[in-house]
Amino acid sequence: MDKETHVVIVGGGAGGLSAASNLNDNSIRVTLVDRRNYHLFQPLLYQVATGGLSPGDIASPLRSILKRRKNVTVIMDEAADIDPNGKRLILKEGELSYDILILSTGVRHCYFGADLWTLNAPGLKSIEDATQIRSRILSSFEKAERVDSPEMQRELLTFVVVGGGPTGVELAGALAELANHTLRHDFRNIDPSNARIILLERNKKILNAFPPLLSRKAERSLKRLGISVRRNTSVTDIEPRLVRIQSDDKPEIIKTQTVLWAAGVQTTGFGRLAGNRTGADLDKMGKIIVNPDLSVTKYPDIYAIGDLAHFNHPGEKPLPGVAPVAMQQGRYLAKCIKKRLRGQKIEPFKYFNRGSLAVIGRSAAVANLGERLRFSGFFAWILWLFVHLMYIVEFENRVLVFIQWAWHYFTRNCGARLITGQNFFNRPFNRNNEEK
C-alpha cells in the first residue's frame, strides 16, 4: 500500500468521472469525492425540468458506474477546504491525504450579484432545481385554469427565460413543445398554446458562441415555435410577479409568475476557496486559470478540469464549459498522471473540437462542426440525439432513455410531468440545494 499513489478527485461530473475511469492502473489508488451519490448528465436536465424525462433517466449512481474499478473508492461527502502544502483535502466529515488532487467541482448559476433573484428566477443545475422548475411551470398552468381574470391568466401563462445560450434556447424550445403539443387537450378553461414564452438575450444575438448564420437560423426556429426572442435586452430586476427589463435602452415591464434563469455561471464556493488557497489566478467567473498541463500555478500536484478550469490554447479564447471539454481533460489527465509516474514526458493538453450543437425543439437543432460544416434542422437534431445517446451509453447501457425519447417523439406525451415537493402552491419556493 505504501508505494501506491493516491489520487483524490473532487466532483463526479463529466470531468471527474472520466479521470476516475481512466486511472486504471494498479499502482494508483483513486478516491472520488462527491456530495451526491450520482453522476448527473447535465445536458439533458432541461428535459427533466419540462417533464420529458424522469430524474432517474439522466442520473446514475457513481458507485454503480465505477463498481468494476477496484482501485476506485467513492466517498459521498462535501469538500470543505484544502491544505495544499500539507497535501490534505478537508471534508465536511473527515479529511483525506493525497499525492495528486484533481478538482472538478464545476459551476453553478450566478445572478451577477443580485442573489435575491434566486427566489423568483430559479436556475437549472441540479435535479432538485429541475423538479422544482417542473412543479413551477406546471403549477402555473394549473392556476391559470382556475382563475377567471384574463389579466391574471395572461400573467400566469407568461414564461420568461433569461439567457439565450444553449440552456436558455433548449428550455424555451421545450416549454413551447409542452404548451403547444403535450398539454394541448389537458385543460378545459385555458388553451395552453396561448402561453407566451419570452427569451431574453443581453447580446446582439442568441447562441452567441455560434456563427451568426446559425444564430439567425436558431432564432427563426424559435419563432416558428411561437417564442418571442428579445435580443439586446437585459434584466434590471425580478420581482415575484414581474420582470423589469431594459430593451434597446428602453425600460419595460413583463408581468409573469415564472422566470427561469439561464444567464450566467460561476464556480462554487469551494472552487473559489481552492483557487485562493493555491494562489491561482481566477477569471471573473471564479474559474481557475490553469497551466498547459491543467495543473494549478505553483502546485504541480493539483489539477483543475472541466467547468472549474479556465484553459485556453495559446492565442485562443478559453474553452467553453461543455461536457466534451471536461471529458477530454479527464482522460488527458489520467494518461498524464500515468506517464508522470513512469517518468515520461508530458505534452500540454490539446482540445479536439468535434463541434458544437444546440437543440431547439422536436426535430430542430443547429450544428457547428467547423467552418465548412454548419447546418440546422432535422439532421442537426438527429446528430444531437445521437451524440447525447452515445454519451449516456458510454457510462451505462441506457437503452431505456432512447426508447423513452422515441416514445415521446411519436406520441408527444410526456409522462414525467409531476408536481412534487412541498411548496407548489406557494411562491417563492424554497431553494433547498443552493451552495450545498
Catalytic residue annotation: 170
Residue 255 interacting with a second copy (CB under 8 A): no
Residue 59 interacting with a second copy (CB under 8 A): yes
CA dist., res. 368 & res. 372, Å (int) = 9
CA dist., res. 343 & res. 323, Å (int) = 30
Residue 413 interacting with a second copy (CB under 8 A): yes
The amino acid at residue 419 is I
Instruction: Please identify which residue in 79, 103, 127, 161 interacts with a second copy, judged by CB under 8 A.
Output: 127
Residue 185 interacting with a second copy (CB under 8 A): yes
Q: Which residues have C-beta within 8 Å of that of residue 219, sequence separation ≥ 6?
A: 205, 206, 229
Strands, E, within 213-257: which ranges? 227-230, 233-239, 242-247, 250-255
- DSSP secondary structure letter of residue 122: -
CA dist., res. 325 & res. 330, Å (int) = 9
Which window, 51-59, 167-175, 210-218, 352-360, contacts a second copy (CB under 8 A)?
51-59
If DSSP codes are grouped into helix, strand and coil, which group holds residue 128? helix
For residues 256 and 242, is the Cβ–Cβ distance under 8 A?
yes
Which window, 137-145, 199-207, 359-367, 369-377, contacts a second copy (CB under 8 A)?
137-145
Three cell numbers, residue 231: 435580443
Identify which of residues 6 and 331 has a Cβ nearer to a second copy in the complex. Answer: 6
Residue with cell string 443545475: 125
Q: Which residues have C-beta within 8 Å of that of residue 399, sequence separation ≥ 6?
A: 393
- The backbone torsions φ and ψ at residue 195, rounded to the nearest 5 degrees and listed phi first, read -60, 140
Binding mask 86-125 for a second copy (x = CB under 8 A): ------xxx-------------------------------
Instruction: Please identify which residue in 112, 378, 379, 407 interacts with a second copy, judged by CB under 8 A.
Output: 407
Q: How big is the CA angle at 389 (ends 383 and 330), to the nearest 5 degrees?
A: 105
Alpha helix positions (H), 181-254: 212-224
Rg of the chain, C-alpha, whole Å = 22
In the region spanning residues 308 to 327, those forming contacts with a second copy, defined by CB under 8 A, are: none
CA dist., res. 139 & res. 137, Å (int) = 6
Q: Residue 16 CB, nearest distance to a second copy (Å)?
A: 17
In the region spanning residues 417 to 436, those forming contacts with a second copy, defined by CB under 8 A, are: 417-422, 425, 432-433, 436
Residue 37 interacting with a second copy (CB under 8 A): yes
Q: Residue 33 CB, nearest distance to a second copy (Å)?
A: 11
Which window, 2-10, 69-77, 100-108, 374-382, contacts a second copy (CB under 8 A)?
69-77
Identify which of residues 81 and 145 has a Cβ nearer to a second copy in the complex. Answer: 145
Which window, 9-17, 34-42, 105-113, 163-171, contacts a second copy (CB under 8 A)?
34-42
Per-position b or e across 332-370, b if 16+ CB within 10 A of its CB = bbbbbbbebeeeeeeeebebeeeebbbbbbbebbbbbee
Q: Give the distance, in angstroms, between the CA of residue 8 and the centroid of all CA atoms in the same chain.
A: 23
CA dist., res. 429 & res. 257, Å (int) = 12
The amino acid at residue 102 is I
Q: Residue 38 CB, nearest distance to a second copy (Å)?
A: 5
Identify which of residues 87 and 398 has a Cβ nearer to a second copy in the complex. Answer: 398
Residue 403 interacting with a second copy (CB under 8 A): yes
In the region spanning residues 195 to 254, those forming contacts with a second copy, defined by CB under 8 A, are: none
Q: Residue 142 CB, nearest distance to a second copy (Å)?
A: 4
CA dist., res. 236 & res. 233, Å (int) = 10
Residue 60 interacting with a second copy (CB under 8 A): yes
Q: How many residues bind a second copy (CB under 8 A)?
A: 56
Residue 24 interacting with a second copy (CB under 8 A): no
Residue with cell string 468535434: 354
If DSSP codes are grouped into helix, strand and coil, which group holds residue 120? coil
Q: Which residues have C-beta within 8 Å of that of residue 307, sequence separation ≥ 6?
A: 13, 15, 106, 107, 265, 267, 287, 321, 326
Instruction: Please identify which residue in 27, 112, 115, 186 interacts with a second copy, judged by CB under 8 A.
Output: 186
Residue 382 interacting with a second copy (CB under 8 A): no
Residue 353 interacting with a second copy (CB under 8 A): no
Identify which of residues 138 and 225 has a Cβ nearer to a second copy in the complex. Answer: 138
Residue 132 interacting with a second copy (CB under 8 A): no
Which window, 155-163, 338-346, 347-355, 413-421, contacts a second copy (CB under 8 A)?
413-421
Q: Residue 55 CB, nearest distance to a second copy (Å)?
A: 6
Instruction: Please identify which residue in 99, 142, 239, 394 interacts with a second copy, judged by CB under 8 A.
Output: 142
Q: Provide the binding-site residues for a second copy, judged by CB under 8 A.
A: 36-38, 53-57, 59-61, 63-64, 67-68, 73-77, 92-94, 127-128, 131, 138-139, 142, 145-146, 183, 185-188, 396, 398-400, 403-404, 407, 413, 415-422, 425, 432-433, 436
